[in-house]
Amino acid sequence: MIDQDLTTGPLGGHFRRLAIPAAIGMLFSTLYNVVDTFYAGYFGTQAQAGLSVGFQAFFILVAIGFGLSSAMSALVGNAKGRKDEVESRHLAAQGIGLAVMAAALMIAVAAFAGPTLIAVVSEPGAYRDAGLGYFYWLIFALPGFIIGPAANGILQARGDTRTMQRALVAAFFVNVGLNPLLMFGIPGVVGGMGFNGIALATVMSQTGVAAFILWRVFGRAMMQNLRWAEFIPVSAKYYEIIAQAFPAGFALLVTFSSGFIVQYALKDYGEAALASYGITMRIEQLFLLPALGITISLVPIAAQNFGAGNHARVREAFHRCWLLGVIGTTLAFPFLWFGGGLAAGVFSEDPEVIRISALLLKVEAAILPIYVVLFSINSLLQALKKAAWTMWIGIYRQWIGIAFFIWLFAYVIDGGLTGVRLGIAAGVGSGLLLSLWIGMRVARDRIGGLGLPRFAAPAQV
């Protein structure tokens, strides 16, 4: 069972052990979504547009799961850095209990708010109907998407990113098999569900992921002889977890909901533009994966070392994180800039969808390195227990910045789809400036500043 002390030993080795499994897991998570987009193509552009708007609405509701994941990774990581196993265990039990309650709440919210969310970014017609049907089935996947990430945060805090990797790899292959089976059925034996079969496949596979992660959490040494009484809510612990989870979850909520701003602008250009946006996001995620694996790994590494008082090691880990991520995403530039149309052609034969996708991927090619620095700063803020700042950064970058610049370039200057593209880039770029300013101020107060990136001595490589 993996249980790493990240306060000693070479940082490079820790990043490799944490980032590679995390990146592989996220690769298969993204391929999972790519598979869904590919199979939706069997039902045409309207189905792909419906999947795009339905999935966007759903993911707004699961942001709380990612917030809890971040909170558990930072808080349990801090406790482990202090060598306080009793606190680690108590936080883990309280976090899982809170996740169960959050999942029940989000199911109720989804049933009530789902149609309104989808109506905002779609026009009446076949693709809105497809999105609604897809969304209603996905509601049953909410426990898996909320409890699973929360439990995984406990594993990440202990240096275990392999469990989620294995779960996501398995979920991908299960999804590959379930999608066509549930969509088309078995001729002469059982009928298929059509487009909604994609959603049911997601429900089944993601529920399995959550069950596997919980099994691994409860198998850890620190969770042995756990008593039911330890799950009884303790207001002080719930407050501590929520105080860390809410900003991180809200920041991700803002990120997901920013897609609504983009989709709202794109709906003026028809269902082809909406389908293109969904395809673009899937392709972009593939090229972000190595960098995301590195930035996710920064949270437990920085959290444990911050808890142990190793401030110089926190600074060094941060610089390693963003430097490696920027290098990786810069290498992806030519593939997205010149090959975007070819990549989009895998998912659609519609010439207009391919044209718009290629246009949107050009801006993603340019801003991928900016995303990496932003994500690195967010991870550092979470590890330093200042996650509230990630929320404010997200509010500006994903709501105010993108909305303002899309309005400016697409409507005031009348730049059309190119204006939407430029608006996204300007929002992200200005968000980077804000996050750098905040990150430097927080680091100065918590760890004596960020300093300058340096190449460590051979013993630290």
Residue 375 domain boundaries: 11-450
**Token pair in block for residue 243:** 């105080």
455 inside domain: no
CA distance 310 to 288: 29
Q: Residue 457: inside a domain, yes or no?
A: no
Mean predicted lDDT score pLDDT of the chain: 82
* Cβ pair 350, 338 in contact under 8 A: no
Q: Is 1 within a domain?
A: no
Q: Which two tokens stand for residue 329?
A: 């995403």
Q: Is residue 3 part of a domain?
A: no
pLDDT tens-digit readout, 382-436: 888 887 788 888 888 878 888 899 889 988 888 887 788 888 889 888 999 999 9
> C-alpha 16: how far from its chain's center?
20
Residue 437, pLDDT > 90, answer yes
Residue 251's pLDDT is 67
Helices (H) and strands (E) in the chain, counts: 16, 2
What is the full DSSP assignment across 288-309?
Answer: HHHHHHHHHHHHHHHHHHHHTT
> Whole-model pTM?
0.65
Does 2 fall in a domain?
no
Alpha-carbon dihedral sign for residues 54, 281, 178, 126: positive
Q: In whole angstroms, give the CA distance from residue 7 to residue 81.
A: 7
Residue 376 lies inside a defined structural domain of this protein? yes
Residue whose entry in the numeric block shows the structure tokens 């993996």: 2
Of the chain, the percentage scoring pLDDT greater than 70 comes to 94
Beta-bridged to residue 185, according to DSSP, are: 191
In a domain, 5, yes or no: no
Residue with tokens 């999942």: 103
In-domain check, residue 294 = yes
* CA–CA dist 182, 164 (Å, integer): 25
Residue 143: predicted pLDDT: 92
Q: Report the pLDDT averaged over residues 222-246.
A: 83
The total number of structural domains in the chain stands at 1
pLDDT of residue 215: 92
105, two tokens: 């709440």
What is the C-alpha to C-alpha distance for residues 460 and 12, in angstroms, rounded to an integer? 7
Judged by average pLDDT, the poorest of 254-258, 310-314, 395-399 is: 254-258
pLDDT, tens digit (0-9, with 9 covering 90-100), for 194-232: 888 888 898 999 999 999 999 988 887 777 777 788 888
The pairing of strands 185-186 and 190-191 is antiparallel
Confidence of residue 121 (pLDDT cuts 50, 70, 90): low
Query: What pLDDT, on the 0 to 100 scale, is given for residue 436?
Result: 92
